[in-house]
């Protein structure tokens, strides 16, 4: 039997895997600062009610569904929807992994799915690579000279090859070049998705993909995503790749708007160097946690009427603050995939821990044949945390405070942190 109506803050704490009593204390402080709007209760109630509806859509009883039962039903739903995605992409039965990747690459190349970002110019990226040649990558790709390699491979592909083949010392030395970059080294250009697939690329990628369990590499400063070749078909490959690409494109957009805001800073290059290594955080704080720029991006994409020109313009326009969910792309691909719409924050508590309805968590569990005990909850926790903080940020007094901090920050500095945390 599932107990739904637990203490509201306790629900969030358990769903997020947060450390107590620090989490509850932070929520109480936020409630006090916001004037007591009971945001935590509102968010929790919404999650619980919509999760019950989602469970009913699966043909299960919301009052008597266990965690393992929900997990199994979601896995079966994902399996069926993988077939719908393949059909929508005109992929025949028994199609190869290569054909699936190419089809998804073409899907994102459609005009309606294209996006632009503020990226390092191709000519500049090539100059950086020529100054610090990735020799191991060059050897494994079969090139005898750097000039030949730079002529036949895109900078994004070479970044990917270097990531696989070069030691950490090379990467450190290569990134040091970024400190001398200027805004004139960047331009607005379409986000690119490449798929190197020669025999040498297959050989280069094979061990990396096998060990890391993924084939998608994203380089925010290039506005580029590289889809590495894979040897074997993977269950759920089409839907999972589509969703992960959407996630990576949002990350590129967030880095782009951040980079645009740094154009007036004398240490622009150092800021971009740091942001290429770790996620940028603002000096604003919510629940005693630094607010990542990524959350600011999501907030203004969600609450468009909160956009303040005096804070962002002339460098960042409203269209720069975009965020596209993978669930929206699935629904556009086939209306029958609308089941996943709005699922990103949904989940059921089982034995004090969450069972995720987030389609990316479900897809990754399906791809990797994970049992219930090893289920993935990363994406639902991330989105629940962001959802909660964005609702607090939308309270008038907290929004004003963050606006003031951001406005001052544009003439001061942004902080950096290794990772976002709610523990």
Q: Is 321 exposed, middle or buried (0-12, 13-18, 19+ CB in 10 A)?
A: buried
| Span 184-239, pLDDT tens digits | 999 999 999 999 999 999 999 999 999 998 999 999 999 999 999 998 889 999 99
Which residues fall within 8 angstroms of residue 203, CB to CB, at 6 or more apart?
140
Among the residues of 119-236, which ranges form H helices? 122-131, 135-140, 146-152, 155-165, 168-176, 199-212
Given its phi and psi angles, is residue 352 left (phi above 0), alpha (psi -120 to 50 degrees) or beta?
A: left
**Alpha-carbon torsion 186, 182, 224, 359, what sign?**
negative
Express each pLDDT in 31-85 by its tens digit: 888 888 899 999 999 999 999 999 999 999 999 999 999 999 999 999 999 999 9
> Around Cβ 421, how many Cβ atoms within 10 Å?
11
Mean pLDDT value across residues 394-412:
71
Confidence of residue 24 (pLDDT cuts 50, 70, 90): confident
Residues 100, 237 contacting (CB under 8 angstroms): yes
**Structure token digits, residue 353:** 């821990």
To 5 degrees, how large is the angle CA 374–CA 377–CA 379? 145
C-alpha 393/C-alpha 23 separation (Å) is 17
363 contacts 236 by C-beta, under 8 angstroms: yes
Predicted confidence at residue 419, as pLDDT, reads: 41
At residue 291, does pLDDT exceed 70?
yes
Q: What is the reported pTM?
A: 0.91
């Amino acid at each position: 039997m599932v107990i739904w109506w637990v203490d509201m803050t306790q629900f969030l704490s358990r769903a997020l895997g947060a450390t107590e009593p620090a989490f509850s204390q932070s929520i109480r402080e936020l409630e006090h600062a916001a004037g007591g709007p009971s945001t935590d209760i509102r968010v929790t109630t919404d999650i619980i009610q919509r999760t019950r509806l989602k469970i009913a859509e699966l043909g299960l009883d919301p009052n008597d569904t266990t965690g393992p039962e929900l997990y199994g039903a979601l896995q079966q739903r994902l399996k069926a929807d993988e077939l719908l995605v393949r059909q929508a992409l005109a992929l025949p039965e028994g199609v190869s992994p290569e054909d699936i990747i190419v089809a998804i690459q073409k899907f994102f190349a459609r005009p309606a799915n294209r996006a632009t970002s503020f990226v390092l110019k191709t000519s500049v990226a090539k100059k950086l690579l020529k100054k610090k040649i990735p020799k191991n990558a060059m050897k494994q790709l079969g090139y005898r000279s750097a000039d030949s390699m730079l002529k036949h491979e895109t900078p994004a592909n070479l970044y990917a090859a270097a990531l696989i083949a070069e030691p950490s010392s090379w990467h450190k030395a290569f990134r040091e070049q970024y400190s001398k970059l200027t805004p004139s080294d960047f331009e607005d250009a379409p986000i690119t998705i490449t798929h190197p697939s020669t025999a040498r690329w297959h050989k280069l990628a094979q061990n990396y993909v096998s060990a890391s369990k993924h084939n998608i590499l994203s380089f925010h400063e290039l506005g580029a995503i590289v889809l590495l070749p894979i040897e074997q078909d993977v269950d759920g490959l089409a839907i999972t790749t589509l969703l992960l690409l959407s996630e990576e494109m949002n990350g590129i957009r967030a880095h782009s708007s951040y980079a645009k805001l740094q154009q007036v800073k004398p240490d622009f290059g150092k800021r971009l160097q740091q942001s290429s290594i770790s996620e940028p955080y603002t000096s604003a704080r919510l629940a005693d946690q630094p607010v990542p720029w990524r959350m600011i991006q999501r907030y203004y994409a969600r609450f468009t009427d909160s956009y303040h020109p005096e804070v962002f313009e002339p460098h960042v326009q409203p269209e720069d603050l975009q965020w596209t969910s993978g669930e929206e792309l699935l629904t556009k691909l086939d209306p029958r995939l609308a089941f996943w719409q709005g699922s990103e924050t949904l989940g059921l508590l089982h034995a004090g821990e969450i069972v995720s309805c987030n389609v990316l968590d479900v897809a990754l569990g399906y791809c990797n044949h994970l049992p219930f005990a090893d289920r993935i909850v990363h994406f639902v926790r991330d989105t629940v945390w962001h959802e909660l903080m964005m609702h607090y940020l939308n309270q008038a007094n907290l929004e004003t405070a963050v606006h003031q901090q951001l406005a001052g920050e544009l003439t001061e500095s942004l902080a950096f942190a290794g990772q976002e945390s709610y523990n």
